Amino acid sequence: MAADIRVGHGFDVHAVGPGDHVMLGGVRLDAPFGVIAHSDGDVLLHALCDALLGAAGLGDIGQHFPDSDPGLKGVSSLVLLARVRGLVEAAGYTVGNVDLTLLAEAPRLGARREAIAGSVAAGLGIGRDRVNVKATTLEKLGALGRREGLAAEAVALLVRR
C-alpha cells in the first residue's frame, strides 16, 4: 500500500498600509510601509497555515481564527501556526516538507531568507532541510507590482504517522 501522504495549498494577501516593518515567516523585516491586518499580517505564515489545514482536510485559517475574534487582534502568526500544527498532529499527520513563495516587489528577502526558513522550521518542529523559501517580484504588473500589497503561496506535504 502506498504511504498515506497528502498535499495542501495555501494563498494569502494583505494590503500595504502605514508602518515601518512587515512580518514574514515570523521574522521582522524593516520596510518603509506596513500591512493592514487583524493579526500581524504575516502572509507567509497565513499561506502556510492554509496549506497545512488544506492537506489535513481541516478547512481554512478563517474558519479556525476569524478576524472578528478580538482575542486574535495583533496576534503573532507564530501562535496561529502553533495551533495549526497542533490540529495537524492531532489528526495523525506529521509535516513532510513545505515550500513557500513570497510575491512582492518589496521587501527583498536577501540575507533574511535563512532566518525566515529557520523560523518556519522551528515553528513546525521540523528540520531546516524540510523548509524552502522562495520569492518573486511581479515585474511591476498589477496591484502587487504597484506595491499595494504583499501575497504568498504555500504548498505543504503531510505524512500520516
Which residues sit at the interface with Mg ion, rule CB under 5 A? 12, 46
Q: Residue type at 75?
A: V
Nearer to Mg ion, 13 or 133 (CB): 13
CA-to-CA separations, 17 to 34, 38, 98, 139, 147, in angstroms, rounded: 5, 12, 29, 21, 10
Q: How far apart are CA 86 and CA 144, in angstroms?
A: 32
Q: How far is the CB of 79 from Mg ion (least distance, A)?
A: 14
Question: Of the two residues 12 and 153, which places its CB atom closer to Mg ion in the complex?
Answer: 12
Nearer to Mg ion, 31 or 159 (CB): 31
Q: How far is the CB of 86 from Mg ion (least distance, A)?
A: 19
| Nearest CB to Mg ion, comparing residues 5 and 82 | 82
Minimum CB–partner distance for residue 114 and Mg ion (Å): 24
Q: Cβ of residue 19: shortest distance to Mg ion, in angstroms?
A: 15
Cell of 33: 510601509
CB distance 46 to 149 below 8 Å: no
Q: Which cell is 27 given?
A: 521574522
- How many helices and strands, by DSSP H and E, does the chain display? 5, 7
Q: Which residue number has the CB closest to Mg ion?
A: 46
